[in-house]
Amino acid sequence: MKDWISIAIDGPSGAGKSTIARQLAKRFGFIYVDTGALYRSIGWYALEQGVFPGDLEKVEPLLAQIHLELKYEGGEQRVYLNGQELSGKIRTPEVSMAASQVSPLPPVRRFLFDLQRNMAQISNVIMDGRDIGTVVLPNATLKLFLTASPEDRAQRRCQELLEKGVQVTYDEVLADVQKRDYNDSHRAEAPLRQAEDALLVDTTGNSLEQSITQISGILLEKLPQLQKKEARNVL
């Protein structure tokens, strides 16, 4: 049985986990698993059904109506809910907050748990989220906890949304980041926290390229086998 490599990247909202993990996956030939997109999809579905995403009694029955699929098209992960591709619909501030509201619900976490863990049993993966190193992949080959100041994260997120045509203000995004930080770290079920064996990486003030270079260096240092993968990719 092959020993697959699993890299867990946890951290607060807006820390750049998804973007960085996606780029690292391409560089080293791993499968990228965007767990946040799964929670966003359930939050989106709750909103579409007129249900408050934090209402356990109303959200739990919806899970029986949901069929989620992760597909890799053109090297990118795409999430399909009941056959509908959601990538462009789950990146708004409203859906971000909905994801934060559904994510503490135990039935939702159980619903997604096997889907996430099974990916690491069949391939080399880079997986990012809030509880990957602490709950989903407690035996991950390498764990990172990626963070940045709330102001820095809000600025990045605001720019990203504006580039996508979503009209938001910095103050709105900062308030959203701060609220999500509180919700994620204070929830009863699998709260956001740094695993004891995770490396802390603070990217405050970094450009995206600087963060990718910084974390690539950590991966190459801690996982020597990746140096061979990188050499093959360069050739």
* DSSP string across 37-50: HHHHHHHHHHHHTT
pLDDT of residue 198: 97
Q: What is the pLDDT of residue 186?
A: 86
Kindly tell me if the per-residue pLDDT of 234 is higher than 60: no
Percentage of residues in the chain with pLDDT exceeding 90? 54
> Could you read off the pLDDT of 177-214 as tens digits, one per residue?
999 899 888 887 778 899 999 999 999 999 989 999 99
Distance between start and end Cα atoms, the chain = 28
| Per-residue model confidence (pLDDT) at position 235 | 36
Q: Which of 157, 174, 175 is nearest to 166 (CA)?
A: 157
- Residue 36 pLDDT exceeds 80: yes
Q: How would residue 229 be classed by pLDDT, with cut points 50, 70 and 90?
A: low
The SS3 of residue 14 is coil
Q: Smallest Cα–Cα separation from 179: which of 78, 91, 93, 73?
A: 93
> What's the pLDDT at 196?
95
Q: Where are the alpha helices (DSSP H) in 29-142?
A: 35-48, 56-62, 93-102, 106-120
The pTM score is 0.78
Note whether 223 and 199 are within 8 A (CB). no
Of 66-75, 87-96, 138-147, least confident by mean pLDDT is 66-75
- Split at pLDDT 50, 70, 90, the class of 226 is confident
For the chain, the average pLDDT equals: 89
- The pLDDT of residue 228: 60
Task: Decide: 133 and 140 in contact? Cβ < 8 Å.
Answer: yes
Q: Scanning the structure block, which residue is given the tokens 């080399």?
A: 124
